[in-house]
Amino acid sequence: MQFTNVLISLLLSSAVMAKGGNKTSKADKPITDKSLCQNMAKLTQLVDFAANTTKLESKTKGNATKIAEIQAKASAASTELKTMSSNTTLVTTCAVVAAENQLKSDCGDMKE
């Protein structure tokens, strides 16, 4: 009887572990086309922001250290963005996702 209890406890705990248990980090989330497109959009936004010196100085209040940090992040983002942009399937999929988001936005505007 005790062996059965131990076996059942072991099976239940392994089932919880297999399902993922306690998910607390973003790294546990599955990578989808939509998440890749969102990441690509964020990277593009960061690169564009860093390229606009007027907005950059306004946002950082002229703090040269913060400006340098943002530009360094943008440089790394630019490299990652170039890698992502070389994947034509991803770029095409992101265009479809962007069109879908725009359509939903337009439909929401019509409802109002």
**Total domain count for the chain?**
1
Within a domain: residue 24?
no
Q: How confident is the model at residue 28 (pLDDT cuts 50, 70, 90)?
A: low
What tens digit of pLDDT does each residue of 41-84 get?
Answer: 999 999 999 998 889 888 888 888 899 999 999 999 999 999 98
Q: Is residue 14 part of a domain?
A: no
pTM of the model: 0.64
Q: Distance between CA atoms of 5 and 1, rounded to whole angstroms?
A: 7
Question: Residue 71 is part of which domain span?
Answer: 32-111
The whole-angstrom separation of Cα 6 and Cα 66 is: 57
Q: Give dist(CA 76, CA 49) in Å, integer.
A: 14
